[in-house]
Amino acid sequence: MENKKSKNKIMAIKKLIANECKTLGFAPEWFYGIHLLGVEKFAKKLLKQLPKADKEIVMLGVWLHDLQRIRGIKGDHAKIGAREAVKVLREFNYEKNKISRVKDIILSHTCGTNLRPKTIEGKILSSADAMAHYTNDFYLVIAVTGQRNLKEYKDWVMEKLDRNYNKKIYFDFAKKMIKKRHDIFKTIFTMN
């Protein structure tokens, strides 16, 4: 259940994350505007289709799921991100139950081999995170960083496209929303 006090806390956390992206220097310059705002956009679209989901838990997950990257902490992305999210939520005086629920959806948002989302909120976060990669310059921005040669980059994109579409997007209606783009990306990145 989301009320005015909850919305204000979420907005304050969103501002905190925007500030950390800008000032800490670990997240790429594009990260907030391209990735996090994209995740927010898709989370809101999914929440409209799935009204029984707890919007507050989802939106907290949206803003806190990438804290490991934002804060430049080496190690397991999901575990460190969840640990850092707990710290933020405690600072904002969230109750233990909500902290636990947000921690759980962050731990499972990458859909690694051992941990998949169990709740509707976790599935929304995972799906929105994956969908955000399809509707902006995400793949192009990463291409110009020059961190991989062309073959390595194409291999990475193809693996990420497969994982995003087939493992991280949990709802058929959500897959339909990005299917054309998914197919276009696959065509582009398999050209020789």
pLDDT at 99 over 70: yes
Q: Which of 43-52, 109-118, 133-142 has the highest mean pLDDT?
A: 43-52
pLDDT at 29 over 90: no
Q: What is the CATH number of domain 4-189?
A: 1.10.3210.10
Q: What mean pLDDT is reported for the chain? A: 91
pTM assigned to the model: 0.92
Which range is least confidently modeled, 50-54, 84-88, 90-94, 157-161? Answer: 157-161
Nearest to 123 by CA among 160, 162, 86, 171: 171
Rounded to the nearest 5°, which phi and psi values hold at 10? -60, -40
CB atoms within 10 A of CB 188: 11
Q: How far apart are CA 165 and CA 190, in angstroms?
A: 16
Task: Show me where the domains of the chain are located.
Answer: 4-189
12: enclosing H helix or E strand: helix 4-23
pLDDT at 2: 60
Going by pLDDT thresholds of 50, 70 and 90, the confidence category of residue 150 is confident
